[in-house]
Amino acid sequence: MMYVNASAAVAAFIVNEQNELLVCRRAKDPAKGTLDLPGGFVDDNETAEQAVVREVNEELNISVVASGYLFSLPNKYEYSSWTIPTLDLFFLCKIKDFKAIKAADDVASFHFVPLNQLKASEFGLDSIRKGISIFLKEREI
């Protein structure tokens, strides 16, 4: 018997000292051009904690100095003609220095949004929209 198990993926909540969330604009499909959080798939023989550090560095050229697991959400990731079930693991990440930040890899651009101005509806992937809503609700914003 064959089971279609979820692939692990990570997403990073990065909040700066001005209480703004770092958001990215997707450079590729699915949901090209919509907002997203930095993150991606967990590689073979990698922990989720290692994956979030690697993905943030690959996509934004910044280093995570600390991370803490928040929650997980199931998702369906549409890629080409495939639908990949994923389990998205959300982390709160701390960045020491934003000086070298630049968009790379799957990120077309990035910017910071004040938490009280975030709109989950502007995020293209279902689990990220839900994750933004949970994140804001837990902070009573």
CATH class of 7-138: alpha beta
Confidence label for 140 from pLDDT (cuts 50, 70 and 90): confident
pLDDT at residue number 54: 98
Reported as a single tens digit per residue, the pLDDT across 43-84 is 999 999 999 999 999 999 999 999 999 999 999 988 888 899
| Percent over 90 (pLDDT), the chain | 90
Per the DSSP assignment, residues forming a β-bridge with 85 are 76
Confidence label for 141 from pLDDT (cuts 50, 70 and 90): low
DSSP 8-class letter at 43: P
Where exactly are the structural domains of the chain?
A: 7-138
Residues 115, 141: contact at Cβ < 8 Å?
yes
